[in-house]
């Protein structure tokens, strides 16, 4: 079996308000974990962009990962109406200048606390859709109805649903049937033969490897792919190929 080249779409570093047992916070620790697990590349965001201030955290990210070409920056973003974040036209230029490969949102009431409906975030999502920039949103951040409306109103938007769990198929399958731009990050998708069933029903291209580090275990995330009852070609697609294709299609 050909070795898998893993490309993590869901990891971060930096101090957090709550440190979970067994987790870590520094960039050095993240890189060591990646090396131990054989993860070659990663999309990464800074915890300060989630827990403190988006622009400050994004700036910290760029400075801290500059020396590591295998780490690709993910900016945490939101709408522009309060002046806390740039308007979409300016944000587009900043994304291009900083070679940003994905945007992440944390709109839940426990994080940044805003609606992702069209009247609030439509202009932001329009820009991301036109530029083919992947949008990463956690299932802990959006409801199923919000996710449905997002995909319905922006059919060309690439959405990676992260931080999922194993009891979601009764809602997830309907959305995967309707919206080809919707993808699932794998670290929390632990149902019996869940990855196999997604591959059979919708194709391996709908799954994107992620770890959830430092909160979750990178080793467990890799095991989900390695021991899945799918072909080596499908495993390689999920491990890195699908994400490579998505970020290769960005138009900035």
Domain count, the chain: 1
pLDDT reported for residue 1? 65
Rounded-to-integer distance, Cα 116 and Cα 163, Å = 18
The shares of helix, strand and coil residues in the chain, as percent rounded to the nearest 5, are: 45, 15, 40
Is 1 contained in some domain?
Answer: no
Is 44 contained in some domain?
Answer: yes
CA dihedral 249, 53, 98, 164 (to 10 degrees): -20
Could you tell me which residues are beta bridge partners of residue 160?
136, 183
What predicted TM-score, i.e. pTM, was given to this entire model?
Answer: 0.96
Q: Which residues of the chain have pLDDT under 50?
A: none
- We report the CATH number of the domain holding residue 12 as 3.20.20.140
pLDDT reported for residue 117? 98
Is 150 contained in some domain?
Answer: yes
- For residue 84, what are the contacts with CB-CB under 8 A and spacing of at least 6? 54, 55, 78
Could you tell me which residues are beta bridge partners of residue 72?
43
pLDDT reported for residue 183? 98
Residues 8, 211 contacting (CB under 8 angstroms):
yes
Print the domain residue range for 13.
6-248
Rounded-to-integer distance, Cα 44 and Cα 102, Å = 9
pLDDT reported for residue 48? 97
The SS3 assignment for 180 reads coil
Adjacency order of strands within the sheet including 182-185: 6-13, 39-46, 71-76, 102-105, 135-138, 159-162, 182-185, 207-208
């Amino acid at each position: 079996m050909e070795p898998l080249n893993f490309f993590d779409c869901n990891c971060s570093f930096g101090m957090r308000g709550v440190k979970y047992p067994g987790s870590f916070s520094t960039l050095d620790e993240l890189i060591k974990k990646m090396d131990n697990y054989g993860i070659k590349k990663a999309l990464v965001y800074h915890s300060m962009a989630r827990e403190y201030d988006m622009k400050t955290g994004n700036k910290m990210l760029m400075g801290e990962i500059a020396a590591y070409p295998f780490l690709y920056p993910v900016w945490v973003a939101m709408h522009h109406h309060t002046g806390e974040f740039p308007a979409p036209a300016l944000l587009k230029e900043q994304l291009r200048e900083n070679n940003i490969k994905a945007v992440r949102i944390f709109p839940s009431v426990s994080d940044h606390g805003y609606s992702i409906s069209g009247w609030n975030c439509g202009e932001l999502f329009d820009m991301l859709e036109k530029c083919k920039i992947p949008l990463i949103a956690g299932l802990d951040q959006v409801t199923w109805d919000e996710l449905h409306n997002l995909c319905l109103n922006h059919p060309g938007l690439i959405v990676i649903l992260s931080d999922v769990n194993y009891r979601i198929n009764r809602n997830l399958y309907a959305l995967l049937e309707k919206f080809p731009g919707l993808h699932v990050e794998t670290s929390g998708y632990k149902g019996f033969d869940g990855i196999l069933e997604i591959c059979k029903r919708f194709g391996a291209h709908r799954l994107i490897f992620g770890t959830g580090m430092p909160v979750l275990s990178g080793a467990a995330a890799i095991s989900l792919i390695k021991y899945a009852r799918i072909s080596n070609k499908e495993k390689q697609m999920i491990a890195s190929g699908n994400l490579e294709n998505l970020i290769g299609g960005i138009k900035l």
